[in-house]
Amino acid sequence: MLLCPLCHASSSFYARDKRRAFHQCRQCRLVFADPATHVDREEEKRLYETHENDPLDPRYRAFLNQLWQPLQKVCRDSGYRTALDFGSGPGPTLHLMMEESGLNARHYDPIYSPDEILLSHSYDVVTCTEVIEHFFYPQREFAQLRRLVKPGGTLATMTKPYVSAERFPNWHYKNDLTHVSFFNDETYRYIAEQFGFRVERITNEVTFFRCIKSC
């Protein structure tokens, strides 16, 4: 039996495809790939570099706008000034879009932009677009994200929620071997309760975690 990498509760078998087995936490409902099938950092980097993330590509900007358009309104209404795009990948773009709207925005990536100094500060906004599904150790990684968000700030995420166990073996999103953690509403509620957020589902794929003032 595998323990959940988010809440450390017990899990049960969820689904299997040709390459990996997946388990579901009995408490927070996270679905996660068997850790024995995690790729190493070299293979992870190779797979990331098959993605086409070009800051000048209007299609990529349109993709990021799924998160940025609703977040931009939150930034205006809340008077946010600082932002960090966490997990910006090989073609950092979202921080440029935030800068174009007047935010003081930086970007961090553990492989491509590993400036650890950025992780010693806190920000009004932290964005994770197509990032949290890559978390091998989501308990540790969400704790880090929480430290990066100022009280009253927002952690904005975008990822696909998982589908039913019957559909999961044929679900295209889990075919990327770097995708190891999958979430649903129950998982988001656990994260919010555990780390002092108020969760807001914006769309099927976009979720905001608003840091309550007292956290």
Query: What pTM value is reported for the model?
Result: 0.95
Comparing C-alpha atoms, which of 124, 126, 127 is closest to residue 151?
A: 124
Q: What is the pLDDT of residue 200?
A: 97
**Domain positions in the chain:** 48-178+185-211
Q: What is the pLDDT of residue 47?
A: 86
Q: What is the pLDDT of residue 215?
A: 54
Q: What is the pLDDT of residue 1?
A: 81
Residues of the chain with pLDDT under 50: none
| Residue 111 · residue 117 · CB < 8 Å | no
Residue-wise pLDDT for 22-54, tens only, equals 999 999 999 999 999 999 999 989 988 887 778
Q: What is the pLDDT of residue 191?
A: 98
Residues recorded for the chain = 215
Q: What is the pLDDT of residue 213?
A: 60
- CATH level 2 (architecture), domain 48-178+185-211: 3-Layer(aba) Sandwich (3.40)
